[in-house]
Structure 1
């Protein structure tokens, strides 16, 4: 049971923790500074953490900042706060940051994926580093300064403007979708593509073209670009589904929001999902299981990419290499996909 501190009582110190745990102050500093590995046993580290929790000990972050010469603050830049994906990225980054006594400031870029202004008088004076999700590296020049480390999430690996990168295997996600639909028997596709000029959407388009390209000569694909919102997707899908020529039997959407708009367009036209038209999304937002039928989509581990992003920034600050490799994604097959209709 955690001790409660009576009004006016002195705050417990690291010396108090050391005395209660039966270890040295140096050991307490190593454990609570997360520098114990290889120096202190895991059992002792657990004992120190439990004792600190029981005593209600909190490190003096102001003093630690002066010793380290750092603010222990990271900035997470995202294109928008309205997208659930970025909230989950923040949650993952903040969880890792808290374990290292870091704070994470969330900053939605006023220009979306475009240039982001410095939210501080001087980012270099206020921050230890920047994590940017789904932004272009050159959009961060106004924030990061010349020597502030930048970790890019879901971004172009060929871009030299970052100290580390953490990506999702979105190309494999699109391959999983096309394999699923081809196996069901679909051959006429409509790609509802996001108009946002982002690397992740460019990768999805390239992967789709590759998967449904020359190896499938009986396949037809039409691409329609739409704003990244439900009304825009609904209007774009409705126009495409009523265009002259054979109607597509499957809609591949770059995002769950676009898929929701596509389902809305199908209902307006009297088409049933999935009996007349299969629809797939991307991201696996909460919206995916709120739709009826529930949406077949690709689950992106948003919290994990946030965690890996913060871990990468900490590694850069400590002069260590960040963990390499893209994060895997998972196809979630639900009720919005089925074999194509047998009648025209």
Structure 2
């Protein structure tokens, strides 16, 4: 007799929605419940129609895995609620669905990475993996590639690794942002960086400094700030730094991501600093919240949909066509001009 999802739910004494969450790898149930459901699925040989299709060559399930490794710096435990990652995951899910594949969603603490990857691939084999590499080291990515060679890594890049990487053009985006401020007449441009470092942020700093160098402008160390990249409320340390500058504020600030930019705007408002009349602010990522903050945020747009499409297409080329060629793809950005930046009045600029 063919077993159905309803049967799995009854055997596990849970709802059908809980079974669905367990099979998709999405949050919303305890790990104990998930393990119980997956064990019942394994014992009864249940293969959901939406998730499984026999591979023409070797009968591998028609499921791709999305893996994120969480820590306390950039990729938080509930990272799927962070706007940038939430939008990216949604786009990847849509691309998988359009191609007849389902996405098995997994997140593991970084310190448990090796054991978790070993377990998930042995217990629930996938056709291939899309890895969120935001906060991972070269060694960690090498380990994962050995366990799952059908791999595409997003949001970072190690040029010397024989692995597929797809990432936004961080250098270009920050260069575009700095150039925009320079063209508006700003010369005292500050830089607000994340206090947790990663490939993307380091690349953005290079692009920013490249633009300043071309215009013979230097970054004043007094205008170089470090804040949390995952806080959207005001930050006390940053406010204190602004107060210490007294009358020597920069006229503009480039922020390494939109979360930082939103936090900066809120901090300035609490100090009575008008945006953009007294201080222009520009971000990076173009998350949805960039249009909710007042004033609406000028920012660098990341083509998350294009990144998702290329990632899924490349992974399926590997899975279905046995494509052996590794790629490093940089997706160009463009500036979205809104209301948080203003031209400098040259008659009063110092």
Distance 1:108 1:329 in 2: 28
Deviations 1:233-290 (A, max 9, x none): 6334313322247211111111111111111111111110000000111111111110
Q: Is the contact between residue 63 and residue 102 of structure 2 (CA under 8 Å) also seen in structure 1?
A: yes
Distance 2:206 2:139 in 1: 22
Structure 2 residue ranges without an equivalent (≥5): 1-47, 69-74
Distance 1:158 1:324 in 2: 7
The Cα of 1:197 is off from its aligned counterpart by 2.6
Range with greater deviation from structure 2 (279-288 or 101-110): 101-110
Q: Is the contact between residue 298 and residue 332 of structure 1 (CA under 8 Å) also seen in structure 2?
A: yes
- Relative to the length of structure 1, the TM-score reads 0.73
**Structure 1 residues 92, 117: closer, same or farther in 2, change over 3 A?**
farther
**Structure 1 residues 193, 117: closer, same or farther in 2, change over 3 A?**
farther
- The SS at the match of 1:212 is helix
How do 1:97-112 residues align onto structure 2 when only pairs under 5 Å count?
97-111=96-110
Distance 2:113 2:270 in 1: 38
Where does residue 121 of structure 1 map in the other structure?
119
Q: Does 1:277 align with 2:279?
A: yes
Q: Does 1:76 align with 2:66?
A: yes
**Structure 1 residues 219, 122: closer, same or farther in 2, change over 3 A?**
closer
Q: Is the contact between residue 263 and residue 279 of structure 1 (CA under 8 Å) also seen in structure 2?
A: yes
Select the residue among 286, 289, 299 that pairs with 1:287. Answer: 289
- The SS at the match of 1:312 is helix
The Cα of 1:224 is off from its aligned counterpart by 1.7
**Structure 1 residues 129, 179: closer, same or farther in 2, change over 3 A?**
same
Structure 1 residue ranges without an equivalent (≥5): 1-57
Range with greater deviation from structure 2 (244-253 or 307-316): 244-253
Where does residue 150 of structure 1 map in the other structure?
151
Distance 1:323 1:140 in 2: 15
Deviations 1:137-187 (A, max 9, x none): 43346655435322111212414152x111211211111111110011111
Distance 2:242 2:99 in 1: 52
The Cα of 1:340 is off from its aligned counterpart by 3.1
Range with greater deviation from structure 2 (125-134 or 172-181): 125-134
Distance 1:60 1:299 in 2: 33
Distance 2:240 2:176 in 1: 27
CA RMSD of aligned residues (A): 2.9
Where does residue 178 of structure 1 map in the other structure?
178
Distance 2:214 2:88 in 1: 37
The Cα of 1:107 is off from its aligned counterpart by 2.4
Q: Does 1:234 align with 2:238?
A: no
Deviations 1:67-117 (A, max 9, x none): 5331222221233212121122222222222233221122234239x9475
Aligned residues: 285
Where does residue 30 of structure 1 map in the other structure?
none
Distance 1:283 1:303 in 2: 13
Where does residue 165 of structure 1 map in the other structure?
165
Q: Is the contact between residue 189 and residue 252 of structure 1 (CA under 8 Å) also seen in structure 2?
A: yes
Bigger CA radius of gyration: 1
- The SS at the match of 1:326 is strand
Where does residue 340 of structure 2 map in the other structure?
336
